[in-house]
Every structure is written in C-alpha cells, then in structure tokens.
Amino acid sequence: MQHTVLLHGHPGRVLAAGAVGLLLAVTSGSSAPTRPVAAATSPVRVVVVGDSLSTGHGTSPEQAWPALMRKDRLGAGLEVVNAAENGSGYVSAGDFDGTFGTEVEDFVTEDTGIVVFFGSENDLGYAPADVGDAALAAMDRAEALAPAAKIIVVGPPSYSATPDPALVDISDQLKAAARQAGGEFVDPIAEGWISDDFDDLIGPDGDHPTVLGQHYLLEHIGVHLEQAAPVAAAQGRPDA
C-alpha cells in the first residue's frame, strides 16, 4: 500500500482539526451586558492509527474516511488526527519507517479521547504471535499515554468471502490483544465488509478504496465512534 500525504511537514500523515466550540452570548436590551449562556465544549480528540486504507490512496487525502468524518454529522465535536502511514502495520514498517506503535507514540496525547486502530494486511508474512505482541504493546502504550481514552481496534478487512487464513490469524491475534487491553474489537472479516460489493468499493489497483469505499469505511467505523464519543466527552469534563 503506497502513497504520500502530509501532516505538520511529516509525509504520510494527515491532520484534520475538528470544530472548536463557541461561547454563546445573549443581550437583553440595548444597554444590557453580554453574558455567556453556554460554556464552550472542547472537542473529543480522536487519533486514527492505521495504514493507507486510512490515508486516501487511490483517491486523495481529502477523501480518506478520517478526513470525511469532519464533514459528516459525526464530525461535529470531534478533533480528528490521522496518524496513518503508508505500508505500516503493527510489525510492518511503513514508507517512513513508522509502525502502529510509533504512530501511537507520536500522536496520542493525554487529552486524547478515542484511539482507533485500523488494519493491517501489511503484517501478512510476519508471525501472527509477533503481530499480537506488537498490537498489545501499542494498545497498552496508547492507554498509558491517554488513560481515559476509549480504544477501538478494527481488524483488517478481507475483500473475499473466503479470506486468506493468514489474514484471519492476524485478526484473531488482534481480537485477543484488544480484549487483554480492555478495548473494543471490530471484525470486518466476520462482518463481511466490502466482499459483497468489491467492484464499487475498491479501485483499479484491487487494494485501495474508491471514494465510495471511503464513505463505506466511514459509515462502518463511524458507528463505533458515534457510540464512544459521548462517553469520551463525559470523561474529558473536569467534573466527570
């Protein structure tokens, strides 16, 4: 999975900032002082850890599902940080030698409310146990950096109704790691993502989503973010 996008001068990554909450005010009469009626609400910081399925390869960075999220109703109240790097996985080093672990290290901060791990088929060819160990280490590190964050782990999708057994092995390792780390696991293979509509959702390279495919990923991953966001927002309040 190969392509390049930019984030803060670092190729391969994208940052999309969510809307900042506004302080509302009302005026009673022409000479009445202005006073706030609702306190500003800080957006929930969401860090997306992933590979080129999350960076818009084959379309554009602006069409990647994390970028689309801020344009969707779901994006209201979220600050989306896309840490994904081409070619990366839990073990596989990406175009700039990053892994999911280094993406966590570089972008997850104490105020992060949700961390989404997505992928990766780039770990095919590595021992499944090594992938599982690296995944657990990355999840544990995310929890250490952002103790209040919700961890959502999305396994790699299969584009076939008969998935590669090695890909299933990776998915099983990620499920076990997510359970051990106290995260939520989402299994695209078991749920049959993409396999029923490959021609429309996957581009000419046979690997990366079309624009429609990126919207599909947003819909399927977004439902889990939508459920997690209110909890993350509540945990981020000073009185929570």
**Residue 60 falls in the annotated catalytic set:** no
Active-site residue, from 51, 52, 88, 158: 52
Residue 238's CB is within 10 A of a number of other CB atoms, namely 4
**Residue 52 falls in the annotated catalytic set:** yes
What distance in Å separates the CA atoms of residue 179 and residue 157, rounded to the nearest whole number? 19
Kindly report the backbone phi and psi dihedral angles of residue 151, in degrees, each rounded to the nearest multiple of 5, phi listed first: -105, 120
* Chain CA centroid to CA 30, Å: 48
Number of H helices, E strands in the chain: 7, 10
Active-site residue, from 3, 88, 187, 208: 208
Please enumerate in sequence order all residues whose Cβ is within 8 A of that of 195, keeping only pairs 6 or more positions apart, or say none. 157, 158, 159, 160, 161
Question: Could you tell me if 77 and 233 are in contact, meaning their C-beta atoms sit under 8 angstroms apart?
Answer: yes
Q: Is the dihedral of CA 134, 189, 183, 94 positive or negative?
A: positive
Residue that has been written with the tokens 């590190």 in this structure: 141
Query: What CA dihedral angle connects 78, 46, 155 and 183, to 10 degrees?
Result: -110
**Residue 205 falls in the annotated catalytic set:** yes
Active-site residue, from 97, 130, 200, 205: 205
Residues marked active site are found at 52, 205, 208
